[in-house]
Amino acid sequence: MTLAGISPEDRDFVHAVYGKFPYVLAFVIILTFVLLMRAFRSIVLPLKAVVLNLVSLGAAYGIIVFIFQWGHGSDAIWGVPATNAIISWIPLMIFAFLYGLSMDYEVFMLTRMREEYDVSGNTATAVELGLARTGKLVTSAALVLMFAFFVLSSSPGVDIKQFGIGLAAGIIFDATVIRSLLVPALVRLFGRWNWWLPHPIARVLRVPPSPLRAAGAAAGGRQ
């Protein structure tokens, strides 16, 4: 038996788009983790980057569900009553845009921190200088994108409103809570473990190893 109409077509679309999405997500996460291990010569930093990116995505999804699916403020601000559902292509597109943007911010900040650590050998100094030299730039870039996507939400289409608000909220959450607070705090908390890459993994990745330094090996305080 063959069904026709909008509902069966929507179901087929969702199945086609999201049927293998878990495999795509796993591939993206693994590839990101491996590339960042090679770039930062670390195990902890790539793992933290992937987890925090997923937190940003979860925040973006939660905000559009709260506003549009549950109807908290959507009618008062955008004149859209509660939709009781999120349009099917929105989560996928938010993932594609936001994961890339947030990872770009992460790489930008951590690259600078890694450079400072290689010079000073001190995690606290690396966090302080890395954040000082990249924080304003990351926040400014995020604000520009946030306003651009927020303006996009003024479009009459409900799908574009959901897409614009989801990205705007996700970007500003990522730039403030994640990059300005959680990233430096976690790097400082993990100390010398941030910079550890054992010899066997380094050999596979074809990069110089980054052995775990003894606590207090470098002058200037906690590693």
The answer, yes or no, to whether residue 19 has pLDDT greater than 90, is no
Q: How far apart are CA 182 and CA 198, in angstroms?
A: 25
- Taking the CB of residue 36, how many other CB atoms lie within 10 A of it? 22
Over residues 149-195, the pLDDT tens digits come to 999 888 888 999 999 999 999 999 999 999 989 999 999 999 999 99
Q: Taking the domain 7-205, which CATH number applies? A: 1.20.1640.10
Q: Is the dihedral of CA 167, 59, 28, 123 positive or negative?
A: positive
Q: Can you give the residue ranges of every domain in the chain?
A: 7-205
Name which of 119-128, 130-139, 208-217 the model is least confident about.
Answer: 208-217
Entry pTM: 0.85
Q: Mind giving me the DSSP string for 39-99? A: HHT-SHHHHHHHHHHHHHHHHHHHHHIIIIIS-SSHHHHHS----SS--TTHHHHHHHHHH
Give the residue among 162, 169, 193 at the shortest CA–CA distance from 48: 193
- Do 28 and 139 form a contact (C-beta atoms < 8 A)? no
The pLDDT value recorded for residue 220 is: 45
The pLDDT value recorded for residue 112 is: 93
The pLDDT value recorded for residue 75 is: 87
> What residue type is 10 in one-letter code?
D
Cα→Cα distances 179→47, 97, 104, 144, 162, Å: 15, 17, 11, 16, 24
H/E segment holding residue 172: helix 158-173
- The single residue listed with the structure tokens 């790489």 is 107
